[in-house]
Amino acid sequence: MELLKGKTAIITGATRGIGKGIAEVFAKNGCNIAFTFASSVEKAKILEDELNQTGIKAKGYQSDASDFDAAQKLVDDVLEAFGQIDIVINNAGITKDNLLMRMSIEDYEEVIRVNLNSAFNLTKAVVRPMMKQRKGSIINMSSIVGRKGNAGQANYAASKAGLIGFSKSVALELGSRNIRCNVIAPGFIETEMTEKLDPKVVEEWRATIPLKRGGTPEDIANACLFLASDLSDYITGQVLSVDGGMYT
């Protein structure tokens, strides 16, 4: 069964890791996909071709959602190309880790700008079209770090905790228009980024997780699939931890 047949999703930061996993699972479920990327033009082209081969319509856009005007333009372009926007996944994010006493104001502001402002900009841009069609699902990607904090990640934790408060407010504002807004908080997800870590460190992390393994992009994508589909029609303003039991 194709749970998203006929729907169109915008997924930010989709050329690798979690974003790519979401795009692939959504495509398998009949969803047309507009995805954004920052600089990986080649990877974006490969992904666009791969998704189109599944029989849905997919298009990559080089766009920076942390730029207010760029987010507005993206939504206009997607509406022109696809005719509708049913789902938004605010997934794009960065880290610039350091202990607070060593963290520069630039690194703090950059992480807040990319991780938090992007979600505000894109959500604001899709509100009117979603209100017009009286339906929509917005999913914001937080983190276990946004729920419990983490030493050396004060900037990242602040941005991800901010997404939770933002999403709950959006859910309250837009619920009467049948627009839902939820949050996914991934735990330790194994992607291209974690492959660069010391294998011993990765093993230690796995040992602390009740399910005894790191998550996969597909684990996150399946949770997104549920929140994007009509199966979750009566769910809004919620934070779903997908972390193998790390945060309970």
User: Any idea which residues carry the catalytic annotation?
Assistant: 156
Angle at 91 between CA 112 and CA 47, to 5 degrees: 135
Burial pattern 50-69, b for ≥16 Cβ within 10 A else e, equals ebeeeebebbbbebbbbeee
- Residue 99: how many CA atoms within 13 Å on its side-chain side? 2
| C-beta separation of 168 from 237 below 8 A | yes
Q: State the amino acid at position 63 in one-letter form.
A: S
**Encoded tokens for 36:** 């954004």
Q: Which residues pair with 189 in a beta bridge?
A: 215
Cα–Cα dist 53/42, whole Å: 17
Residue 159 backbone dihedrals phi, psi, to 5 degrees: -65, -40
Cα–Cα dist 2/140, whole Å: 22
